[in-house]
Structure formats: structure tokens, C-alpha cells
């Protein structure tokens, strides 16, 4: 099949209790594409400034990621700065410089327009329409969103929910959007708003996947050293959707396995700053950890 | 085998966002014994005042719980008052009246002294020694503790860890006791302090069981309506230890299944106030839900 990701390519400045890293490469599109590249050949749509490293473009290419949809514009690349507390689930945004991302109008190259799976990473929900208009009958459309859009454009988020099959969000966002403090009720309420699958990401507590006729719970891999949680959610989505693209089947069984592969890839990403762990990650490591997940939950 | 529980029989006043219940029956020993009674015939050691309802004593008896170790003393029964927020994992203790529990000196009837499994529910760690002195070579000793003892008697808690096989606590308590913000490192650190199994209870996020050679993760059963979380932890311990007492084997495989049965029983208890759900709970319901847990996590 074919998998198109629309998201950001960015610089992140990250502070954890132990370390600070300035302007390292990040972005929802970058993480998602690298994660998916272990399963399929994803195509990315995004925009970078003239300061975006050629080395990273080379890295994406070496992972067989199609970057025809990434345009380079004069100006600076999107820059996000965030700070994590002792609890890595807690993060504060220090600043956001949209830069060239401010005027982002996603344009899909012709070869992208027959995408089977389309992932709208955390972008302005008002950009979804123009993207969807460029894609011919995708088999599966997925979106992610964040608190900012839920708080500022909730109507647009709800409108877009009606057009997607899979909705990714963290547990706080699912509760906020559904207006319900109980995650299970909240997940079920969102199922009634359009998507057939709601994936709630709970950081160190794993993920809960709500389908029309099943619920699947996967714990996070117990991790002794979370170096940098940035990108875990987008890597989860990349592993999840990349796997579905690879197996070409969207059955409950494959959705469950997709969620485990999402968790597996996310469990690697948090072991190093930024996208560093992707530089050494191998398929063998992913398969080994998939089997470890089986052991972790089997009884 | 035989299973002895040392804990409290109490009155609880509970306030949730929806409802307030005054002086309903609770207590760690009560919950644990009722939960365990679905697997084995537990024996309880505790103390009640003259105000403790005869009906509850009858209920315990009808669940084939041995209450020879429960003494009735003149005065009032232990009373705890707590308040839950919209997040049922968050609870505040409003008041604690120890009453007759203040002078609790656990005395085990002769028929209790050959216990195979001994559970020291949340009691003063300085009471452990006198209890252990009354039991001949138990196969497994388990304890629970709470923030109060960790903050006020941490040395005693660490001393007692050396004498137990299984340590139950919630995730915050495990982190606090180990002095480590990372739950996995904290769990492993406590494994080095004595117990061979650390069970960290995470409320709506399930539980993580650390053994010397395995980690087992079980999500909580997705629950749309948490009526009253009180007693979930002690019911988990009751299901866990009651199951091990029943199967008479303490292998990693049975420990995993024990944790699932603990989760199953806890998932019922929170569906009603206090111990009410135990009044109607059947073995068939427990088995059905055990199978649901299999489905919940299988991939």
C-alpha cells in the first residue's frame, strides 16, 4: 500500500532534569516517518527553512522515506522549545516559533495522491480539508491533535473527527475533547463522533485502543531510563500506521498488533535525545522487543 | 494451604464527586478477606468496637471467612473518612479515628499459627515482628504499606521489607520509598531490599509486578463508572494471595495469574460503595472477567 504523512519537520530545544539540547532535529512528520520507515516506505509532506540540515534530509532518504513532498522555503524552520519535569509525562512548552510553518499549505506531489493511508499529524485542523481534497479515496485516514487545537478550535476538531478513521491523542486530550473525566467513557463518546478507532496514548502507562467492538490495552515497556520523551507519540503513530500499511489489512487483530508495534518503536525513541535512536535502530531489535511485549503481558 | 490476614475492620465515610456515604463498613482486612474468600477460606485477625455491625460479622462468616482472630473490644471501631476527586486515583484523608485500633496487638488463635500465606495489610510496621513471632515457617509473607508509614517510620518499613516475600504498594509509594522517580528503577531497587516480588498498583492504569527474573504488566479493566475506589488495593491483594493459596504454587506463571485475579476482583469492588459488590459477586462473574482480561491484552 502507500502511506502519506502530513506533519512538521522542526528544530526542538529540549530540557530534561538532566540535560539541555539546543535546536536538535524533531517534528511530528520527522518522527512519524522515521518510525514508519521500519515497516514501509512512507511519503512525507512538510516544509523546512533554509537552515534545516541537509544531513537530516539525507538521513530520511537513507531510510527510504519519500521526501518529494517536503518543500524548502526561505526563512527559518519551525522551532519548539519544551521542558520536562521529573515525571516525563509532564511537559511545558516554553516557546513556539512557527517560522516557515506559519504559512504551511500542504501540497501533495502527484505520486502521493493515491495514498492508501493518510496521517494528518498535529496540524491546524483547518488544513485537513485541503489535504483530503488532494487524495483519491484513501483506505484509512488518521489524525492526531493537541490541547491547543482542542481549546482553540474544538468545532474544527469535531468536524474533522467525522472524516477520519483513526484518532490518536493522549489521555488528557481525549478527556478534554469528550468533556468527560473517565477515559473509557470519553473514548467511547469520541467513537460516536466519527472515527472507528480511538487510540489513547498514556505515556508510561501504555495505550488503550477503543474500537467499535473491542478494547485493547497495551502497557508501556517498563523503561528505566527515559532520556527524552519527545516524539514518542508520533513514533507510536508511525509504527502503528506503518505496520498497517505493510500488512495491508485493517482487522481488529492487525490493529492490536499495530498498537504493539507503535509501543515498541516509541519505547526505543525515548532512549535517546531527539531522533538519535533511529540512527542505530534495527528491525531485529524491533522484533525482539515485540516478543518481549508478548512476555510482558502473557498469563 | 492456609491464608491469614492481619488488618483493619473499620467504618469508612466516603465522599465522591457524586455521593457521600457515612460510616459504611470497610477496612483493609475486611476487603482483603472478602476478596480472598472467592478462592480460599481466609482467616482474619483484627479488632472491632462494640458498634461494629453483627450483620457484617455474619456476612464474613457466610463467605466462609474464619473470624476467630477478630476480637471485639469496648469502644468504637476504627473510622476513616476520605474524599475522592474527579480523578478517582486522587484521594484525601479527611480524618482518621483509630479508636480501638490504636491499641491493636494482633493475637493469632492457635489454629492460625501454621499459616502458609500471611498478609500484613497496612498496619504499623512495628506490629509485624510480634505477628511473625506467632507464625511457624509461613511459605509466603506479604505486606502492604502507605505513605504515612513511609514518611514516619521508613526505617521500620525497610527493616520489614527484609522479612517479606511480596510487597504491595501503589506506584507513588514505591517511588517514595525507593527515592526514585522512575517506577521501574524504584521497583528494582526495592527488589534488592528483600522481597522477591514487588506489586505496584497503579489504579486505573493497572499494575506492574516485578519479580527477580520477570516483569508482568496488567492493565486495569476499562471501567466506565468508578463508583467508589475504596478497598481496590486490598481486594487486589486478597484476590492475588487467595489465588496463590488456592493453587498452592508460587511460580512466575501463577504469580502472573494471581495478579490478573487481583485486578479482576478489584474491578468489581469499585463498581459499588464499600463492600456492597461482594454481596452479589459470583465465581462465574470472576471467571468471565478473567477471560475478558485475556481478550483485552491479547495480540
Cα-Cα-Cα-Cα dihedral sign, residues A156, A159, A165, A168: positive
* Residues B292, B237, A217, A184, Cα dihedral to 10°: 90
pLDDT the model gives residue A86: 84
Strands B3-6 and B91-97: unpaired
For chain A, which residues score pLDDT lower than 70? none
pTM of the model: 0.94
And the C-alpha cell for B261? Answer: 485475579
Q: Which residue in A197, A207, A208, A193 sits closest to A140, CA to CA?
A: A197
And the C-alpha cell for A173? Answer: 486530550
pLDDT the model gives residue A23: 98
Using a CB-CB cut-off of 8 Å, the residues of chain B touching A223 are: 182, 184
Q: Which residue in B153, B149, B181 sits closest to B168, CA to CA?
A: B149
* CB count in 10 Å sphere of residue A110: 8
pLDDT the model gives residue A74: 97
DSSP state of A126: G
**Nearest chain B residue (CA) to A290:** B299
Q: Which residue in A295, A250, A298, A243 sits closest to A265, CA to CA?
A: A243
Using a CB-CB cut-off of 8 Å, the residues of chain B touching A260 are: 299
pLDDT the model gives residue B252: 96
Report the Cα B285 to chain-centroid distance in Å. 21
Q: How far apart are CA B129 and CA A42, in angstroms?
A: 62
Residues B128-169 pLDDT 10s: 999 999 999 999 999 999 999 999 999 999 999 999 999 999
Q: How far is A87 from chain B (nearest CA, A)?
A: 7
Q: Which residue in A244, A275, A238 sits closest to A7, CA to CA?
A: A238
For A283, half-sphere exposure in the C-beta direction (CA atoms, 13 angstrom radius) is: 7
Using a CB-CB cut-off of 8 Å, the residues of chain A touching B259 are: 299
Give me the residue from B224, B225, B257 closest to A299, CB to CB.
B257
pLDDT the model gives residue A89: 79
pLDDT the model gives residue A90: 84
Using a CB-CB cut-off of 8 Å, the residues of chain A touching B295 are: 214
E strand or H helix at B80: strand B79-84
For chain B, percent of residues with pLDDT exceeding 70: 100
Q: Which residue in A140, A111, A110, A161 sits closest to A247, CA to CA?
A: A140
Give every CB contact of residue B164 below 8 A, 6+ residues apart in sequence. B120, B141, B142, B143, B194, B195
And the C-alpha cell for A40? Answer: 514501509
Give me the residue from A184, A218, A299 closest to B256, CB to CB.
A299
| Strand residues in chain A grouped as ranges (E) | 3-6, 10-15, 20-26, 43-48, 66-72, 79-84, 91-97, 117-120, 140-144, 166-170, 197-201, 207-211, 215-218
Give every CB contact of residue B152 below 8 A, 6+ residues apart in sequence. none
Q: How far apart are CA B272 and CA B262, in angstroms?
A: 17
pLDDT the model gives residue A43: 98
For chain B, percent of residues with pLDDT exceeding 90: 96
Q: Measured between CB atoms, does B216 come within 8 Å of chain A? A: yes
Q: Measured between CB atoms, does B297 come within 8 Å of chain A? A: yes
Phi then psi for B91, rounded to 5 degrees? -135, 150
And the C-alpha cell for B23? Answer: 460510616
DSSP bridge pairs for A97: A79
**Nearest chain B residue (CA) to A218:** B297
Q: Measured between CB atoms, does B225 come within 8 Å of chain A? A: yes
Report the Cα A59 to chain-centroid distance in Å. 19
Give every CB contact of residue A268 below 8 A, 6+ residues apart in sequence. A235, A277, A278, A281, A285, A286, A289
3-state DSSP assignment of residue B89: coil
Residues B234-272 pLDDT 10s: 999 999 999 999 999 999 999 999 999 999 999 999 999
How many CB contacts within 8 angstroms connect chain A with chain B? 86
Query: Looking at residues B74-92, what average pLDDT do you find?
Result: 92
Q: How far is A184 from chain B (nearest CA, A)?
A: 5
Report CA-CA distances (Å) from B129 to B67, B125, B155, B267. Answer: 22, 8, 14, 33
Answer for the pair A101, A47: CB distance below 8 angstroms, yes or no: yes
Q: How far is B210 from chain A (nearest CA, A)?
A: 10
pLDDT the model gives residue B88: 82
Give every CB contact of residue B87 below 8 A, 6+ residues apart in sequence. A181
pLDDT the model gives residue B89: 79
pLDDT the model gives residue A88: 82
Q: What is the ipTM of this complex?
A: 0.90
Strands A197-201 and A215-218: unpaired
Give every CB contact of residue B148 below 8 A, 6+ residues apart in sequence. none
Q: Measured between CB atoms, does B148 come within 8 Å of chain A? A: no
Amino acid at each position: 500500500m502507500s502511506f502519506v504523512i502530513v506533519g512538521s519537520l522542526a528544530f526542538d530545544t529540549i530540557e530534561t532534569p538532566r540535560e539541555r539540547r539546543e535546536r536538535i532535529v524533531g517534528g511530528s512528520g520527522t518522527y512519524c516517518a522515521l518510525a514508519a520507515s521500519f515497516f514501509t516506505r512512507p511519503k512525507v509532506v512538510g516544509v523546512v527553512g533554509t537552515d534545516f540540515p541537509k544531513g537530516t534530509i539525507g538521513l530520511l532518504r537513507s531510510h527510504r522515506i519519500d521526501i518529494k513532498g517536503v518543500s524548502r522555503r526561505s526563512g527559518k524552520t519551525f522551532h519548539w522549545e519544551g521542558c520536562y519535569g521529573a515525571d516525563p509525562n509532564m511537559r511545558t512548552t516554553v516557546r513556539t516559533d512557527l517560522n516557515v510553518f506559519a504559512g504551511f499549505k500542504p501540497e501533495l506531489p502527484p505520486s502521493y495522491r493515491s495514498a492508501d493511508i493518510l496521517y494528518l499529524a498535529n496540524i491546524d485542523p483547518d488544513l485537513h480539508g485541503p489535504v483530503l481534497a488532494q487524495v483519491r479515496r484513501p483506505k484509512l485516514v488518521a489524525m492526531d491533535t493537541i490541547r491547543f487545537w482542542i481549546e482553540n478550535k474544538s468545532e474544527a476538531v469535531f468536524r474533522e473527527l467525522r472524516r477520519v478513521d483513526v484518532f490518536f491523542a493522549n489521555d488528557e486530550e481525549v478527556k478534554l475533547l469528550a468533556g468527560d473525566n473517565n477515559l473509557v467513557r470519553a473514548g467511547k463518546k469520541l467513537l460516536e463522533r466519527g472515527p472507528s478507532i480511538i487510540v489513547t496514548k498514556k505515556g508510561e502507562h501504555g495505550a488503550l485502543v477503543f474500537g467499535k467492538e473491542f478494547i485493547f490495552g497495551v502497557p508501556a515497556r517498563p523503561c528505566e531510563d527515559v532520556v527524552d520523551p519527545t516524539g514518542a507519540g508520533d513514533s507510536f503513530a508511525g509504527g502503528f500506521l506503518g505496520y498497517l500499511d505493510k500488512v495491508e489489512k485493517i482487522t481488529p487483530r492487525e490493529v492490536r498488533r499495530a498498537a504493539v508495534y507503535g509501543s515498541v518503536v516509541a519505547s526505543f525513541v525515548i532512549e535517546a535525545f531527539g531522533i538519535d535512536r533511529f540512527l542505530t535502530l534495527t528491525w531485529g531489535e524491533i522484533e525482539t522487543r515485540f516478543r518481549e511485549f508478548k512476555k510482558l503481558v502473557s498469563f
